[in-house]
Structure 1
């Protein structure tokens, strides 16, 4: 029961908006902001009104991810209450009652359905698949080694597919595969760092992940990621692919090796979103890759 003392109610009324914002995890929204617009690698995607359609797709996936985060926190509340760190989450700590969280999730889901129907009905398929995938993840897949990594990576591939569908640009299977593999890296890196935590702080699935196995998967995945990128370059730039690869491949390889160094040598990668944004070398490498790809797009016939 919550205290009905006037002071307690006043404190709660001031903190509730912040707790509700924490519940939808705005720190994770850049995942959609960065991934959905990857279709802009295609020069055709820059013709108006396709950029506006991409912006709408980003907003819709932000809404969908917020619904998923609320659902996950509701489902995991009992486990989170016994976790030394996760017990501070809004629902687990009691700052946001389950009833309030359900109401917020339902409101966001309704807004998602209405907004999709009004703006981009074609996105019902990837959005529905994304939510269904996360329901399966929350209920079962997150406890299955390797399958849980596939589920997380598939969520990113669905974001890219949404960008294609929103703009009407023909999807590239090579880019979808490249993103799918690339997104293995931060998930595997995070799992490797979680193995260094005390047992009470580890997620149950880590019992199926020996450290050596995760490290081998990291190296293998980093190498495999380059293959679909090469085919995507050949598909997109055709005769100019050699020039594009000469400009883009070195910083791409450097970025992959830098990430492996961060995780395997410097013991980083525990928080992929914040870690990547705080690593100036990786940020600089990403800027070089984006600039090279943008230049290649401008030079494309």
Structure 2
């Protein structure tokens, strides 16, 4: 009896090419499983509920107003610190309210299920009490530091985030614009605390750069976990997010360059130093895009900005050049 190989050879046309076996389709990586949260008892769980790792956002954005002032007095530093504290308390309040509302959805998420409320470490009553205390602390701080006249960005941030938590976070594009607006309000709060007005180009730069970070986070969520855990992701696609990343990156760089151009009054030497710092800003944007698109990172923008060694070194060089710009005589 002819072997199976012989039969197959006889039935094939002469000279037929041997087709390679199809490769298995690459499988989507499984959602990352986070380890259980660290201990620390009820106090530690309450602290984690306020997301202390996110406080760096306020420390990075609110004090930008100090770059536009030449009088770094004790009073200016105190007023800036109070503005940072107000936004830190308000953002902590928003995190608690958001986790209360999303506790059921978080329990079905491989990472968010370890959050204090979703995991049962903090009860809803205790979380509600903490939220009330945080909101009361913000109200007292705003009233003690000038009232609505200088504290309206904090109140506007509250309104935007209540609307975001109530439903806007489920609307594609609107969700990322709401989050980016919160960073512009942080910037404005820092300027109002110093009695100054921010440059419109700087506001646009902060908005565009933060939009870049947020879109990168959405991209990471989509590629790793799909669209089930965040309804707004159903309105995105990876190609759309990649194009939005490019748009936000270009807008951030151009608006920063125009902000530097508006500083022409600082004098020839200071202006030259400012423009030398521009490549650092361009490199920083390019590096983060590389992390998102090549290294498939960007899921935690705070980690990407403050733990990536290349980004940290570039930021230090940029800060040194820009500080030189501010401190040089304006002649």
> TM-score higher than 0.5 here?
yes
Hey, which bits of structure 1, 4+ residues long, moved more than 4 A? Answer: none
Q: In structure 2, what is the Cα distance between the partners aligned to 1:39 and 1:168?
A: 10
Which residue is equivalent to 1:279? 308
Alignment partner of 1:142 is 2:166: no
Question: Which of the pair has more CA radius of gyration?
Answer: 2
Distance 2:102 2:251 in 1: 34
Structure 1 residue aligned with 2:244: 217
Note if 1:248 corresponds to 2:277. yes
Q: Secondary structure at the residue paired with 1:244?
A: helix
List runs of 5+ in structure 2 lacking aligned partners: 1-38
1:14, distance to aligned residue in structure 2 (A): 6.1
1:182 counterpart residue number = 209
1:235 aligns with one of 258, 262, 267: 262
For 2:150 and 2:56, the matched residues in 1 are separated by 19
2:276 and 2:307 map into 1 onto residues whose CA distance is: 25
Alpha-carbon offset, residue 237 of structure 1: 3.7
In 2, the alpha carbon distance for the partners of 1:300 and 1:228 equals 25
Tell me the secondary structure at the aligned position of residue 170 of structure 1: coil
* Runs of 5+ consecutive residues of structure 1 not aligned to the other structure: 1-12
In 2, distance between residues paired with 1:255 and 1:191?
Answer: 20
- TM-score, scaled relative to structure 1: 0.91
* C-alpha separation in 2, matches of 1:31 and 1:267: 22
Kindly indicate which of the two structures has a greater share of residues assigned to helix: 1
Shift of 1:21: 0.3
2:219 alignment counterpart: 192
In structure 2, do the counterparts of structure 1 residues 246 and 44 end up closer, same or farther at CA, with 3 Å as the change threshold? closer
The 2-side partners of 1:33 and 1:199 are apart by 32
Aligned residue among 113, 116, 132 for 1:90: 116
The aligned counterpart of 2:317 is 288
CA distance in 2, matches of 1:258, 1:153: 20
TM-score by length of 2: 0.83
Counterpart selection for 1:267 from 265, 289, 296? 296
What is the CA deviation profile of residues 8-61 of structure 1, one whole-angstrom value per residue up to 9, with x for unaligned ones? xxxxx9610010001001000010011000011113452441121001110111
Q: Secondary structure at the match of 2:295?
A: coil
Output the CA distance in 1 between the equivalents of 2:131 and 2:212: 30
Number of residue pairs the alignment of both structures matches:
289
Provide the rounded CA distance (Å) in 1 between the counterparts of 2:124 and 2:47.
15
Residues in 2 aligned to 1:285 and 1:163: alpha-carbon distance in whole angstroms: 24
